[in-house]
């Protein structure tokens, strides 16, 4: 450019700020960024014993019954309600006690271990699909660019997940994303592409950076062959931002008069001048241009541009408000709508005009088509509190019908199971039975454990009050389930909380995997994946590349092997997550979990 474009003024509607946000999917408006002192509250590790322990098993196992420690393989016979066993040297003072003749148990979501992957950052199975739609690396820190992870890479790592005891994998939204980038972070200091999947453009196609339809089908089928369910992340609150590249490709929106000369042949290749940041391109765009009707259209979204409605403040109206200034779908509208203009003209879309269909009807159809075609087992629902409850009840009902259709068309398969599963992201939900369980959800993400688990990672007995409280609440007269985590893409990595201490990262496995309810592992929790480049968006660093090199060269041991052992024990015993908790002894710390005929006793001894 020959001169510095004037910045858009913060005036009427959302014209200025709609596309300035650089946040990724998840809790845009509420989740706290990583702490400046993330290891402050982890505490000091207690010293675990390697000496034999005499453990009270209460009435969990009968006198004369033979039990074994799953970790060491050691066996003992119950006498006077006790057994004496020595923890394995690498077991961190743990005994994982089960009946020698324990029967195989049926799966339950309350006892599941869900492994959360950001597809683009997990494993690159095909390098020939790494560049699409003109997307480019920035040759700097690559904070917000596509890194190459895909369905093929995830499929190649399913054996690894099976060894971890994982019985469900949560994948970020697989849909075709906006083609271009937006300015990343508060300072616009990086190009932010939709590598994470939360900026959908076309809900009917997989993004080619992630792979093909057949590769997604193979992923689901290969996961099912290993007893691993597939939970797909879905968004009904918003599509993605408009970008320069998408404006050019799909002929919507418009530039300020005479400003086209400031753009390269491919608009997505625009670069700021030395005095500008990556937000500066907004000065080129005429947000009042009549051709914004060629985008989603005012009947589909609130966006505050052209003749679109302006969304209210999300803190005042969370359902109709805009998150991070993303266009807000009118899922509550009873009005029948036409297919958006840009999708009508998009050559490779599978989106079709639906008769007398609302925005909600289209979205539900598009999302459940993935269940009908591929046999997806469940949805993790993004930003659930920002869509009206009736929409979620409809989505659940239609997803169940879609699953029934898939099962009828694919008889004889052990998976998917009969019942479709949905878990809601509702920041800052805790362990409580809220109205979301009456709106189609089987579980809600629990945001409390990440902080609570830190003392337990240092010394497991600190978890007793938490375990007891969670179990009592979830197994009450009106039972419910939550999914708890120690790391996430929208909060922090536990490796950073623990200041990259391998001992703490090893110990936290027990604190998490023994927590009542569904446990979520964020990719790399088990291998010490480190916080990555983050720029002015504190959450970007949580989505660093999976540290496969550390696993392959042995650096991740013995943390990884410990996670595998505990994960396999949890997979054998749904009672750990779904069962009732009872403390049997304080020193050594001993507790039981029982669920039907599934029984375990877990002991931890310290010097």
Cβ contact 185:22 at 8 Å? yes
Question: Residue 258 above 60 pLDDT?
Answer: yes
pLDDT digits (tens, 9 = 90+) for 54-84: 999 999 999 999 999 999 999 999 999 999 9
Question: Residue 34 above 50 pLDDT?
Answer: no
Residues 139-167, mean pLDDT to the nearest whole number: 98
For residue 10, what pLDDT is reported?
27
pLDDT digits (tens, 9 = 90+) for 333-375: 999 999 999 999 999 999 999 999 999 999 999 999 999 999 9
CA 12 to CA 553: how far, in whole Å? Answer: 56
- Bridge partners of 285, per DSSP, are 255
User: If we measure between CA atoms, which residue out of 152, 65, 130, 133 comes closest to residue 100?
Assistant: 65
pLDDT digits (tens, 9 = 90+) for 455-484: 999 999 999 999 999 999 999 999 999 999
Question: Residue 14 above 50 pLDDT?
Answer: no
CA 497 to CA 32: how far, in whole Å? Answer: 14
CA 516 to CA 539: how far, in whole Å? Answer: 27
As a dihedral over the C-alpha atoms of residue 167, residue 127, residue 207, residue 213, rounded to 10 degrees, the angle is -60
Which domains, from first to last, does the chain contain? 111-425 (3.20.20.80)
Q: Could you tell me what percent of the chain has a pLDDT over 70?
A: 93
pLDDT digits (tens, 9 = 90+) for 222-236: 999 999 999 999 999
pLDDT digits (tens, 9 = 90+) for 93-136: 999 999 999 999 999 999 999 999 999 999 999 999 999 999 99
For residue 39, what pLDDT is reported?
40
Would you place residue 413 in the very low, low, confident or very high pLDDT band (cuts 50, 70, 90)?
confident
Cβ contact 86:46 at 8 Å? no
Residues 21-50, mean pLDDT to the nearest whole number: 55
Read off φ and ψ for residue 245, nearest 5 degrees.
-65, -40
Residue 425 appears among annotated catalytic residues:
yes
For the four alpha carbons of 284, 290, 296 and 301, in that order, the dihedral sign comes to positive
CA 349 to CA 205: how far, in whole Å? Answer: 7
Q: Does the reported pTM lie above 0.85? A: yes
Residues 504-533, mean pLDDT to the nearest whole number: 98
Cβ contact 295:251 at 8 Å? no
Would you place residue 27 in the very low, low, confident or very high pLDDT band (cuts 50, 70, 90)?
very low
Q: What is the mean pLDDT of the chain?
A: 93
For residue 412, what pLDDT is reported?
87
For residue 44, what pLDDT is reported?
81
As a dihedral over the C-alpha atoms of residue 291, residue 292, residue 294, residue 300, rounded to 10 degrees, the angle is -150
For residue 42, what pLDDT is reported?
61
CA 172 to CA 120: how far, in whole Å? Answer: 9
Would you place residue 414 in the very low, low, confident or very high pLDDT band (cuts 50, 70, 90)?
confident
Tokens of 586: 């304080």
- Bridge partners of 183, per DSSP, are 191
Cβ contact 373:365 at 8 Å? no
Residues 45-50, mean pLDDT to the nearest whole number: 93
Question: Residue 593 above 90 pLDDT?
Answer: yes
Would you place residue 515 in the very low, low, confident or very high pLDDT band (cuts 50, 70, 90)?
very high
CA distances from 37 to 34, 41, 487, 497 (A): 8, 9, 16, 8
CA 149 to CA 524: how far, in whole Å? Answer: 14
Looking at 425, 452, 545, 598, which residue is catalytic? 425
CA 277 to CA 259: how far, in whole Å? Answer: 18
User: If we measure between CA atoms, which residue out of 226, 89, 206 comes closest to residue 151?
Assistant: 206
Question: Residue 18 above 90 pLDDT?
Answer: no
DSSP string, 348-396: T------TT--HHHHHHHHHHHHHHHH---EEEETTGGGS-HHHHHHHH
- The 10 Å Cβ neighbour count of residue 390 is 13
Number of H helices, E strands in the chain: 15, 22
Alpha-carbon 270 to chain mean position = 32
Looking at 69, 382, 490, 550, which residue is catalytic? 382
For residue 315, what pLDDT is reported?
86
**Helical ranges in 125-236 per DSSP H:** 151-156, 158-163, 213-225
């Amino acid at each position: 450019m020959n001169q510095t474009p004037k910045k858009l003024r913060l005036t009427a509607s959302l014209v200025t700020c709609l596309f300035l946000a650089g946040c990724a999917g998840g809790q845009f408006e509420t989740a706290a960024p990583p702490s400046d002192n993330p290891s402050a509250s982890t505490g000091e590790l207690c010293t675990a014993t390697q000496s034999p322990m005499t453990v009270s098993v209460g009435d969990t196992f009968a006198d004369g019954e033979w039990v074994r420690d799953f970790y060491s393989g050691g066996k003992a016979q119950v006498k006077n309600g006790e057994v004496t066993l020595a923890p394995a040297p690498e077991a961190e003072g743990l005994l994982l006690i089960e009946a020698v003749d324990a029967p195989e148990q049926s799966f339950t979501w309350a006892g599941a271990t869900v492994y959360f992957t950001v597809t683009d950052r997990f494993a690159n199975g095909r390098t020939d699909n790494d560049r699409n739609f003109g997307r480019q690396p920035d040759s700097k820190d690559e904070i917000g660019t596509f890194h190459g992870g895909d369905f093929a890479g995830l499929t190649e790592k399913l054996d690894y997940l099976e060894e971890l005891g994982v019985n469900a994998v949560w994948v970020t939204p697989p849909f075709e994303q906006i083609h271009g980038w937006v300015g990343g972070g508060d300072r616009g200091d990086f190009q932010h592409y939709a590598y994470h999947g939360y900026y959908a453009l076309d809900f009917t196609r997989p993004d080619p950076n992630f792979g093909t339809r057949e590769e997604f089908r193979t992923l689901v089928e290969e996961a099912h062959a290993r007893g691993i369910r597939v939970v797909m992340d879905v968004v009904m609150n918003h599509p993605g931002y408009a970008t320069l590249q998408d404006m050019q490709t799909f002929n919507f929106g418009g530039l300020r008069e005479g400003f086209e000369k400031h753009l390269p042949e491919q608009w997505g290749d625009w670069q700021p001048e030395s005095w500008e940041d990556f937000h500066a391109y907004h000065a080129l765009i005429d947000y009042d241009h009549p051709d914004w009707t060629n985008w989603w259209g005012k009947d589909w979204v609130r966006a505050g541009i052209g003749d679109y409605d302006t969304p209210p403040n999300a803190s005042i109206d969370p359902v109709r408000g805009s998150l991070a200034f993303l266009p807000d779908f009118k899922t509550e509208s009873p009005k029948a709508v036409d297919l958006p203009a840009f999708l009508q003209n998009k050559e490779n879309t599978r989106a079709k005009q639906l008769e007398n269909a609302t925005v909600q009807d289209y979205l539900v159809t598009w999302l459940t088509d993935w269940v009908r075609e591929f046999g997806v087992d469940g949805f993790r629902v993004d930003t659930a509190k920002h869509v009206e409850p009736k929409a979620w009840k409809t989505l659940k009902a239609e997803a169940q019908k879609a699953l029934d259709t898939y099962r009828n068309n694919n008889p004889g398969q052990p998976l998917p199971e009969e019942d479709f599963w949905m878990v809601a992201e509702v920041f800052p939900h805790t362990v409580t039975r809220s109205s979301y369980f009456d709106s189609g959800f089987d579980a809600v993400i629990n945001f409390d454990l990440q902080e609570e688990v830190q003392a337990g990672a240092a010394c497991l007995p600190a978890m007793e009050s938490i375990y007891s409280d969670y179990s009592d609440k979830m197994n009450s007269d009106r039972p419910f389930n939550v999914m708890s985590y120690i790391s996430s893409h929208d909060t922090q990595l536990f490796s950073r909380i623990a200041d990259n201490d391998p001992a703490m990262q090893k110990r936290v496995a027990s604190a998490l995997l023994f927590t009542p309810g569904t446990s979520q592992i964020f990719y790399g929790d088990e291998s010490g994946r480190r916080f990555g480049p983050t720029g002015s968006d504190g959450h970007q660093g949580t989505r660093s590349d999976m540290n496969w090199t550390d696993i392959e060269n042995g650096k991740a041991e013995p943390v990884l092997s410990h996670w595998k052992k505990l994960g396999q024990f949890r997979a054998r015993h749904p009672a750990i997550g779904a069962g009732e908790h009872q403390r049997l002894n304080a020193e050594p710390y001993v507790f039981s979990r029982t669920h039907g005929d599934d029984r375990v006793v877990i002991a931890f001894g310290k010097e």
